[in-house]
Amino acid sequence: MRFTGIGRTFSTLDDRQYETIGAFWDELSAEYGRKNLRGLGYGWTADSIKYVIGSKDDDISGYDTELILPDDGWITVCGKTENLGQIYRDIYKDGALKYEIEMFNDDGNCRIMYRR
């Protein structure tokens, strides 16, 4: 699976990533529409995460990151964006991830695909 998008590195200290990645989503959603985007988290360190937002059809202008991800072996969880913290607590209880792909819509629903 090819994933292209605009990448940034975010602090994970004190769970700051929820606010800062959310602002990143808001910024790109204003241009592309939230339902047309997907976000990729990877490359965790003790205090940061690399995060890329791209369009679902890999057509985002000014992209600066391109990754080739495995096509299979993903687990999918769907839920409400307001419950994102709990969704991730449930996911991480079984250990660290290698990749996570997030998709959100304006109705407050989310879809998380992850791979260990």
CA distance 33 to 103: 11
Please state, as a whole number, how many other Cβ atoms lie within 10 Å of the Cβ of residue 4. 17
DSSP secondary-structure letter at 7?
E
Flag whether the pTM goes above 0.85: yes
Which of 1.10.1750.10, 3.20.80.10, 3.40.50.261, 3.90.180.10 would CATH assign to domain 2-115? 3.20.80.10
4: pLDDT strictly greater than 90 = yes
Q: Which residue has the tokens 């939230």?
A: 34
The predicted pLDDT at position 16 comes to 87
CA distance 66 to 98: 16
Exposure on the CB side of residue 103, measured as CA atoms within 13 A: 13
Domain ranges of the chain: 2-115
pLDDT digit string, tens, across residues 7-56: 999 999 998 898 999 999 999 999 999 999 999 999 999 999 999 999 99
